[in-house]
Amino acid sequence: MSIESHLVENRIFQPSREFSKAARIGDLAEYRKLYKASIADPEKFWAKQAAKLRWQKDWTKVLQWKCPFAKWFVGGKLNVTENCLDRHLEGARRNKAAIIWEGEPGEKRTLTYHQLHREVCKFANVLKRNNIKKGDRVLIYMPLVPEASIAMLACARIGAVHSVVFGGFSAESIKDRLADCGAQVVITADGGYRRGQMVTLKQNVDRAIEGNAAIRRVIVFKRANLDIHIAEGRDVWWHREMDYVTADCPALGFDSEHPLFILYTSGSTGKPKGILHTTGGYLLGAQFTTKTIFDLREDDVYWCTADVGWITGHTYLVYGPLANGATCLMYEGAPNWPEPDRFWKLIADYGVTILYTAPTAIRAFIKWGDEWPAKHDLSSLRLLGTVGEPINPEAWMWFREKIGGSRCPIVDTWWQTETGAIMITPLPGATPTTPGTATLPFFGIDAAIVDDAGKELPANEGGKLVIRKPWPSMLRSIYGDKQRYKDQYWTEVKDCYFTGDGARRDEHGYFWITGRMDDVLNVAGHRLGTAEVESALVSHEAVAEAAVVGRPDEIKGQGVVAFVTLKTHAVVHADLKEILRKHVGEMIGPIAKPDDIRFADALPKTRSGKIMRRLLKEIAGGGGVTGDTTTLEDLSILAKLSKSDD
């Protein structure tokens, strides 16, 4: 299969001389030289970088590679939190702000490295007090408050494995993830704030664990003063527990390959995959990319707008910046609360210098109007970044001009939950940028575009984006399912990691990502498996069959369209569409709610019974059906489906 890419974009922006002069990597020739060396001998390259972390025991072998299973820094021992916290207490960073937090209603808190260290050590002792041990899985379901980071770091401190579930996911989603990772302990909050509303986190947890005797402890952080149910003997308050412990919690060294966290993400089946990351390699990826790609300086005020529930939050809100001793802004709520200038106000108030956000947010800001950023002084910004989906050139240009004052470089960073850290990106002082391309691979990353047979394609031909060599922050497996890990990532193209993305490389070697090639949608920068939404729909009593596809969406990148056939005897309410949308919201979370539901007597199928998604995509996108329909069983279905009744 070849993928066509029609986008032609010729604007080139050189890094400013001023930025380049101060940058770690100051020109393209230097990047190319270092990149070449890093690919010629990745082990040597990574070993040199890894030596800058703090190890309690040195490794004996940089990489043990039995495709597709990697072990990095074999025999080495380290503690992630010693690298993120203790290290910084020894010098000038001791009293530097680590986290500057603002709640949606406007409360402000600052934690210095010293204070964050203290909180993490205390909470790690709370975990121990509750009999949580090395290797135990702990599910974290929190609002975006410093305690979310503290909970993650406390797990890392004692070698427990965290699995953060985004606070926007439903009780059902928590249930599935608990069952898969086998966590016996949940850390949550009474609630959180989102767009002026309260998110009832503890209530969702209660529903998720109802009748689940395996859950022996729920630790509840008081955030929202909600009246919640406390189950005697199972639930405890965070603040009460903290009264029983000291801040003395030594950072024991864990094996470099000890699991650090599991993070669930959507794949092409109905069941989310538990992506497993381990200690040394992940920390190295997080630390080194943050420092190099954001060209981090001691006096930066760095803001990554992602929630800790996503990989971006893990790597670029928690582990990466803290491993570099950075000052991070953390904001709990919505970008348009109480007004659409909240982000710009935060930037002006705190003097943010680096802003890392998502194209979907940028498109929403464009829609809300230029007057909102214009009200604020954004001159503190020196670098901008985007992540999560392809950025359309108009959004890129708006970001550059209206937010970056045509002065700040933009790093369009391509990566995935699985890759752990940024893989393809400009280096802000070195790489000339063009709107819409993530440009060049990062050091040590051997990215290529190949055809179905695994052969590298010439410039400007679309194909599969693969990574040909292992890298330290790569996923190690799908939790509990090595076979699925192999099948999913390592069989499509021999001896290569297949990203699931399509892309092309232009004549300068720049990568243009065209999007997912599998049945995964990218809705507002978040991955959503069509099969997940389908099984949520089918779990409703009225639904016989469902097929879900994406359609272009101005703000969200992709919108969700569901084609549904109902059971013969189903009771059809007038508001069935709304009922089904709500049902999907309850089964997965609000982000998965279909934008459009179309009812049909039948779905277009091949003679062998396979749903013809390609046709549905064309219908959902609003265009006529242009593709081949020769294998379609019943042509009249198409005509019916094309008519939307709203």
Rule CB under 6 A: which residues touch ligand PRX? 265, 311-312, 387-390, 412-417, 438, 499-501, 513, 515-516, 522, 527
Do residues 314 and 306 lie in contact, with contact meaning Cβ atoms separated by under 8 Å? no
d(CA 413, CA 387): 5
d(CA 304, CA 525): 14
Closer residue to ligand PRX, CB minimum distance, 76 or 529: 529
Only one residue has tokens 């920068």, namely 525
d(CA 625, CA 637): 12
Q: Which residue pairs from 339-343 have beta carbons closer than 8 angstroms and sit at least 24 positions apart in sequence?
A: 339/372, 340/365, 340/368, 340/369, 340/372, 341/372, 341/373, 341/375, 341/376, 343/305
Closer residue to ligand PRX, CB minimum distance, 348 or 523: 523
Closer residue to ligand PRX, CB minimum distance, 13 or 237: 13
- 594: closest CA among 639, 626, 548, 627? 548
d(CA 163, CA 174): 10
The CB-of-190 to ligand PRX minimum distance in angstroms stands at: 28
d(CA 248, CA 260): 22
Its sign, for the CA torsion 521, 524, 526, 530, is negative
d(CA 274, CA 257): 17
Closer residue to ligand PRX, CB minimum distance, 286 or 513: 513
Residue nearest to ligand PRX (CB): 417
The CB-of-137 to ligand PRX minimum distance in angstroms stands at: 20
Closer residue to ligand PRX, CB minimum distance, 31 or 264: 264
Closer residue to ligand PRX, CB minimum distance, 55 or 356: 356
The CB-of-358 to ligand PRX minimum distance in angstroms stands at: 8
The CB-of-470 to ligand PRX minimum distance in angstroms stands at: 18
Spell out the SS3 assignment of 609-624.
CCECHHHHHHHHCCCC
Helix 576-587 vs helix 171-181: crossing angle, to nearest 10: 30
The CB-of-433 to ligand PRX minimum distance in angstroms stands at: 12
Give the Cα-Cα-Cα angle 400, 401, 403 (nearest 5 degrees). Answer: 75
Closer residue to ligand PRX, CB minimum distance, 470 or 529: 529
The CB-of-414 to ligand PRX minimum distance in angstroms stands at: 4
The CB-of-514 to ligand PRX minimum distance in angstroms stands at: 8
The CB-of-267 to ligand PRX minimum distance in angstroms stands at: 10
The CB-of-500 to ligand PRX minimum distance in angstroms stands at: 6
- Per DSSP, 410 falls in state E
CB proximity list for 290: less than 8 A, separation 6 or greater: 296, 315, 316, 320, 321, 323, 324, 326
d(CA 94, CA 113): 6
Closer residue to ligand PRX, CB minimum distance, 501 or 519: 501
Closer residue to ligand PRX, CB minimum distance, 327 or 522: 522
Closer residue to ligand PRX, CB minimum distance, 235 or 412: 412
The CB-of-554 to ligand PRX minimum distance in angstroms stands at: 17
Coil vs helix vs strand at 254: strand
Do residues 256 and 279 lie in contact, with contact meaning Cβ atoms separated by under 8 Å? yes
The CB-of-112 to ligand PRX minimum distance in angstroms stands at: 29
Question: How many other CB atoms are found less than 10 A from the CB of residue 172?
Answer: 17
Closer residue to ligand PRX, CB minimum distance, 167 or 191: 167
